[in-house]
C-alpha cells in the first residue's frame, strides 16, 4: 500500500489506484466525464494545490532563490487546518491503500508535488517505489 506521485495525463502504472488531482484548475478542453479515461484524475482535490498567486510565482521562478521562496510560501499554505487535515488523512491512508497524487508539470523537482511529497513523508506516508505502484 502506498502513494505514487505522478504527472497528470501520463499513462497509469499497474496497480496505481485512484488518481487524485492536486491542481488549481481542471485540464483545459477535456470534458469532465473524460478526466479519468484520459489519465488526468479520478478525484479533484484543489485544496492541495497552490493558490493562484503562488502558481504564477512558481511558473515565473527561474532561480534557486525564487523557487525556494515559492516552496516556503506553499509550505505555509499547507499549514492551514483544511489542507493539513487532508495531508494527515492521505498519509494515514497510504498504509492501507494504493493511490496517486499529481499535477500537470513535467518536472516534479519544480512542481508543488515535490513539496506535497515532502509534507507527506514528514507525516509518515508510505510511497511506492519510483516507476511502480
The DSSP secondary structure of 29-96, one letter per residue, reads T--GGGTTTTTS-SEE-GGGS--HHHHHHHHH--SHHHHHHHHHHHHHHTTSHHHHHHHHHHHHHTTT
pLDDT(130) > 80: no
- pTM score: 0.93
Tell me the mean pLDDT in the region 51-75.
Answer: 96
Kindly list the distances between the CA atom of residue 62 and the CA atoms of 57, 102, 105, in Å, as whole numbers in the listed order.
10, 22, 15
The pLDDT assigned to 41 comes to: 98
Tell me the mean pLDDT in the region 101-120.
Answer: 96
What is the rounded CA–CA span in Å between residue 12 and residue 17?
A: 9
pLDDT(132) > 80: no
What is the rounded CA–CA span in Å between residue 63 and residue 68?
A: 9
The pLDDT assigned to 133 comes to: 42
pLDDT(48) > 90: yes
| Cell 511502480 found at | 132
pLDDT one-digit tens code per residue, 23-44: 999 999 999 999 999 999 999 9
pLDDT(119) > 60: yes
Tell me the mean pLDDT in the region 107-119.
Answer: 95
Amino acid at each position: 500500500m502506498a502513494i505514487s506521485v505522478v504527472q497528470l495525463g501520463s499513462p497509469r502504472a499497474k496497480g496505481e489506484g485512484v488518481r487524485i488531482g492536486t491542481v488549481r484548475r481542471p485540464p483545459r478542453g477535456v470534458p469532465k466525464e473524460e478526466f479519468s479515461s484520459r489519465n488526468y484524475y479520478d478525484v479533484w482535490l484543489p485544496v492541495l494545490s497552490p493558490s493562484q498567486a503562488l502558481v504564477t510565482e512558481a511558473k515565473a521562478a527561474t532561480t534557486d532563490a525564487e523557487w525556494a521562496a515559492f516552496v516556503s510560501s506553499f509550505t505555509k499554505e499547507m499549514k492551514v487546518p483544511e489542507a493539513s487535515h487532508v495531508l494527515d488523512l492521505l498519509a494515514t491512508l497510504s498504509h492501507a491503500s494504493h493511490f496517486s497524487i499529481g499535477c500537470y508539470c513535467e518536472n516534479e523537482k519544480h512542481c508543488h508535488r515535490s513539496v506535497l511529497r515532502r509534507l507527506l513523508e514528514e507525516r509518515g506516508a508510505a510511497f511506492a517505489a519510483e516507476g511502480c505502484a
